[in-house]
Chains A and B, each alone.
Chain A
């Protein structure tokens, strides 16, 4: 009986976590929402905490920018790598790669950040910027995008391989027996049949990139900028929260603003996650 209550209680606590997070963050962000409308919070670029003006546009812009950059860099790579590993490559290679990918997915983000500082930042400063005839400190949106892309690779690749494994072998064989080449089979059977799964894997990869904190914080430069140049530095939302936790108590409404940023991340990422997980659950059942 007692164990039964404990089991039930554990589950309820678990299911209450997202509700608690949502309510808790909203409760802390509420004072700010009373002073400023949601529209001006999201679309104003006036960020003067001392005057009580909080416009999140530069931060949202940087977040979206690095996320898109990371997606463009990693998605095609992951898609083709997953196709090779599951369709063209030897079984032995896949058996070797699966645990490696798993282990790499577990490497902490701070280690990816160290790598970014050591490799990507100098690369951007010394090689990429001169190529375009400008100078850059290397701590830039591009560096953030590259580090995020590398972080997303094990995560997305893992999901894509799983997606391709769910496609029935009979279907592939039917296509091949009708005289299709391997690539035609991939194009017309694997990609088409796995399409919802591929989209979901990409979506979840984007969500992960959007919320990543420490690794990006270390390489992105952390200055407010609304610029299209990837060689300039940026200041994504998670970095804003992480950087200012120390001083947020001294300025009124500042802690509200940071909690609002966290709430924003939570809501956006939860919606993306729920949407694409629903996609996956739907396709798994079929």
Chain B
């Protein structure tokens, strides 16, 4: 009996050991494949030059339009998300501090919103775009991506604000400050590290998302100058180039995939470092 028990223990320990390490290996393998395949096609020309004529049939040039376009779109969307999301997150944690039920209900809805796939946002963005009489453009793309990333920004920021002790707010109230002052000067300051993390998280999500901008941002070989011009994005550029029958163009898609992965890695690593650095100053 006892021996059977130990054998079972041994078998399941091995199974879970294999599971844990195969997960690590699969994900490592993914990164290695993407990097190995694209590194030969990666060059300064691809990263820093605009596509020339016949680029999608193997002509010269690069994907600078998509890189810059992605940054434009994502920065715009993040700014919009901050304008809507930052006050909303503060509101949940200051004005509703006594209404635990309402707070939880709102969090519950935002969590559910987080799970809505980006293609739905894309389709809705497209419908809204037609309704408002816009064309596929930088502006329409920004609005759609902002809808997608605002719940993420709010929930991530809120997660940090939630941990700030209530006493800190009470101290601020007792000194005679209003709720708004408390929100901006105490809560925002204390949660600044969390805000940076949330910001970068949302930004990273915005830059990597393809399905939501498929209908709304259009695609172009130029860098947009005004808000009503279409804009190219990196994920779509990878997607389009990969579906080309020409081997050379596909090679560039692999190179572009490296660029996108590196951008995302930089964003997530710097989010971690920044949040560590800023959180040193806040009261625990």
Binding site for B on A (CB under 8 A): 1, 3-4, 6-11, 13-15, 17-18, 20-21, 24-25, 27-28, 76-81, 83-85, 87-89, 93, 97, 99-100, 102-104, 106-115, 117-119, 150, 153-154, 157, 181-184, 186, 204, 207-208, 210-214, 218, 238, 241-242, 245, 258-259, 261-262, 265-266, 269-270, 272-274, 277-278, 280-281, 285
Residues of B within 8 A of A278 (CB): 108
Given contacts A24-B127, A103-B268, A111-B261, contact A80 B117 (CB under 8 A): no
Residue among A25, A111, A184, A213 making CB contact with B9, cutoff 8 Å: A184
Of all chain A residues, which has the CB nearest B154? A14
Residues 116-168 of B at the A interface (beta carbon under 8 Å):
116-124, 126-128, 131, 147, 150-151, 154
Inter-subunit contact A106/B205 (CB<8 Å)? yes
Q: How far is the CB of B109 from chain A (nearest CB, A)?
A: 7
Distance of A114 Cα from B259 Cα, bound (Å): 13
- Report if B5 contacts A (CB, 8 A): yes
Distance of A89 Cα from B24 Cα, bound (Å): 14
Interface size of B as a range: 35 or more
Q: Which of A208, A212, A245 gathers most chain B CB within 10 Å? A: A245
Inter-subunit contact B253/A114 (CB<8 Å)? yes
**Chain B interface helix/strand/loop/mixed:** helix
Distance of A9 Cα from B84 Cα, bound (Å): 8
Given contacts A18-B109, A84-B19, A84-B20, contact A108 B209 (CB under 8 A): yes
Please give me the 5 A-B residue pairs with the lowest Cβ-Cβ distance, nearest first. A211-B117, A108-B208, A80-B19, A262-B123, A10-B88
- Report if B12 contacts A (CB, 8 A): yes
Inter-subunit contact A17/B113 (CB<8 Å)? yes
Inter-subunit contact B109/A15 (CB<8 Å)? yes
Of all chain B residues, which has the CB nearest A209? B117
Inter-subunit contact A109/B33 (CB<8 Å)? no
Distance of A181 Cα from B8 Cα, bound (Å): 10
Distance of A39 Cα from B20 Cα, bound (Å): 44
Inter-subunit contact B86/A10 (CB<8 Å)? yes
Distance of A207 Cα from B59 Cα, bound (Å): 41
Distance of A27 Cα from B118 Cα, bound (Å): 19
Inter-subunit contact B151/A110 (CB<8 Å)? no
Inter-subunit contact A108/B210 (CB<8 Å)? yes
Of all chain A residues, which has the CB nearest B183? A7
- Report if B106 contacts A (CB, 8 A): yes
- Report if B283 contacts A (CB, 8 A): no
Of all chain B residues, which has the CB nearest A115? B30
Contacts A/B (CB < 8 Å), 27 sampled: A6-B87, A9-B87, A11-B88, A11-B91, A17-B147, A25-B124, A27-B127, A81-B16, A84-B17, A88-B13, A103-B265, A103-B269, A109-B209, A110-B260, A111-B34, A114-B253, A115-B30, A117-B242, A181-B8, A208-B117, A210-B117, A259-B123, A261-B123, A262-B119, A262-B120, A265-B119, A278-B108
Given contacts A24-B124, A110-B257, contact A15 B106 (CB under 8 A): yes
Inter-subunit contact A77/B23 (CB<8 Å)? yes
Given contacts A14-B154, A259-B127, A273-B112, contact A104 B27 (CB under 8 A): yes
Distance of A88 Cα from B114 Cα, bound (Å): 32
Distance of A93 Cα from B21 Cα, bound (Å): 11
Residues of B within 8 A of A266 (CB): 116, 120
- Report if B39 contacts A (CB, 8 A): no
Of all chain B residues, which has the CB nearest A262? B123
Inter-subunit contact B110/A14 (CB<8 Å)? yes
Q: How far is the CB of B8 from chain A (nearest CB, A)?
A: 6
Inter-subunit contact A150/B211 (CB<8 Å)? no
Given contacts A7-B183, A17-B151, A273-B116, contact A154 B27 (CB under 8 A): yes
Distance of A183 Cα from B12 Cα, bound (Å): 7
Residue among B19, B33, B253 making CB contact with A81, cutoff 8 Å: B19
Distance of A110 Cα from B263 Cα, bound (Å): 14
Residues of A within 8 A of B90 (CB): 7
Given contacts A6-B87, A242-B119, 17 further A-B contacts (CB under 8 A): A14-B154, A17-B147, A17-B150, A25-B123, A83-B16, A87-B16, A88-B17, A106-B204, A106-B267, A107-B261, A118-B254, A181-B9, A213-B118, A242-B214, A258-B123, A272-B115, A273-B114
Residue among B17, B109, B112, B120 making CB contact with A21, cutoff 8 Å: B120
Q: How far is the CB of A242 from chain B (nearest CB, A)?
A: 6
Inter-subunit contact A153/B26 (CB<8 Å)? yes
Inter-subunit contact B127/A25 (CB<8 Å)? yes
Residues of B within 8 A of A102 (CB): 268
- Report if B193 contacts A (CB, 8 A): no
Residues of A within 8 A of B88 (CB): 7, 10-11, 13-14
Distance of A28 Cα from B120 Cα, bound (Å): 13
Given contacts A81-B23, A108-B209, contact A218 B239 (CB under 8 A): yes
Q: How far is the CB of A11 from chain B (nearest CB, A)?
A: 4
Inter-subunit contact B115/A273 (CB<8 Å)? yes
Residues of B within 8 A of A265 (CB): 117, 119-120
Of all chain B residues, which has the CB nearest A25? B124
Of all chain B residues, which has the CB nearest A208? B115
Q: How far is the CB of B204 from chain A (nearest CB, A)?
A: 5
Inter-subunit contact A245/B87 (CB<8 Å)? no
